[in-house]
Amino acid sequence: MVAMPSLHFFRWVEQLKDSGIEIFWFDITGAGNLVERISWVHQITNWKLHWNFPGRVALKKKFPLIYKAIQKFNERSVSKAFEKQLKRIKPDLVHSFALYVSCTPIASVMEKYPKLKWIYSSWGSDLYYFQHSKNHLKDIQRVLPRVDYLFTDCRRDHHLALEHGFKGKFLGMFPGGGGFDLKEMHSLMLPHAQRNLILIKGYEGRSGRAIPVLRAVATLKQELLTFKIIVFGADKATENFADKHELASWPNFEVRGKISHMEVLELMGKALIYIGNSNSDGIPNTLLEAICMDVFPIQSNPGGVTEEVVEHGVNGLLIRNCEDSGEIAHLLKKGIALAGNPTLRSFHSENFKRSIGRDVVRQEVLSKYEIALKDSTKLFG
């Protein structure tokens, strides 16, 4: 497995524990440490530097140009380091998570071994956002024809992969971090009558669009007086906007920075409405968590992806223009009316929830790996 150290990756790998499949993880960043959470996995980390010299971090901060020049000689090549491990481990399969992070850096090596089976898991904006960049599109169209198997988190990205040269076997559509622990989530859920929290994902970056949501909230002060509003995962831009527009001074408004996954789930269990807004994504894991915890979602719909799981006006609302704060304000008012309807016990299908539960997804994912392993050849003997 080739991936950066991330929660989604660790959760995915955990599905294979006690499966009888021997797992090696090549940390593509090369700078991480061993991860206790997946201690049963053979971990290849901290390989990048020839010499982790004293004062390296301080030099990087104070004299970045000098540091960059030194690192040209001090950093090992990703492709050479990966090929060295490939020859040592002699794997049956290679599985890369995210195209630019974990496929492109090793593409030249995988092209040298065309019979070695390669799985690619598409994440987030991998295909939808980067297809519009000429240089990134070249990477997409180089990697996809070499890839033998594909996992996605949405139908949209399967179609995009086919458009851009994928000719292999589609292994299916699953949440990027594997299935969800429905029992744990249920234990954190308050009855709807006790929920008065509006939860907003606060990232404003390349794709995140939290600020248009906050603009909408700012116009609805009177309508939102009886609700608690929490913005989580906020970055500096979001915090600055909240301060500048006096949202932070509202007694019922709170901005939180990066919080743990458990804290997110605890907030979800108290939330009546969840708002996520971006200009590009796959099926957001946070959206799926909201669905599992029976929160009414208001979510952007880049490339028609969210409509795969949310029916507008029935089990959520779709934001058509992620930059339009007027539209978002209108949807929020509508969402309050729908989510507050006492005759609605559950917004989301119990069958759908079960389909993304941990046990169901784990069994299906393991069956897909079995297919790929049967197809693989003992390339290294």
Per-residue pLDDT tens over the stretch 308-340: 999 999 899 999 999 999 999 999 999 999 987
| Long-range own/partner contacts, residues 23-32 (CB < 8 A, 24 or more apart) | 24/85, 24/89, 24/91, 25/1, 26/1, 26/2, 26/82, 26/85, 27/3, 28/2, 28/3, 28/4, 28/78, 28/101, 28/102, 28/105, 28/106, 29/4, 29/5, 30/75, 30/76, 30/78, 30/81, 32/5
Q: Which residues of 183-211 are buried (b: 16+ CB within 10 A; e: fewer)?
A: eebeeebeebeebbbbbbbbbbeebbbbb
Q: Please identify which residue in the block is written with the tokens 């180089």.
A: 142
Asked whether the CA dihedral 319, 325, 327, 328 is positive or negative, the reply is positive
**Quick check: helix, strand or coil at residue 150?**
strand
pLDDT score, position 307: 94
DSSP 8-state assignment for residue 102 = I
Helix, strand and coil percent figures for the chain, each rounded to 5: 45, 15, 40
**Quick check: helix, strand or coil at residue 369?**
helix
Q: Model-level pTM?
A: 0.89
Average pLDDT over every residue of 41-56: 79
**Burial grade of 148 (CB within 10 A; 0-12, 13-18, 19 or more):** buried
Show the CA angle centred on residue 110, arms to residues 14 and 13, nearest 5°.
0
pLDDT score, position 381: 47
- Supply 378's token pair: 């003992």
- The yes-or-no verdict on residue 27 having pLDDT over 50 is yes
More confident call, 212 vs 64: 212
Q: Please identify which residue in the block is written with the tokens 């990756």.
A: 9
Query: Which of 4-13, 60-69, 216-225 shows the lowest per-residue confidence on average (mean pLDDT)?
Result: 60-69
Beta bridge partners of 274: 199, 297
Average pLDDT over every residue of 351-379: 91
pLDDT score, position 281: 86
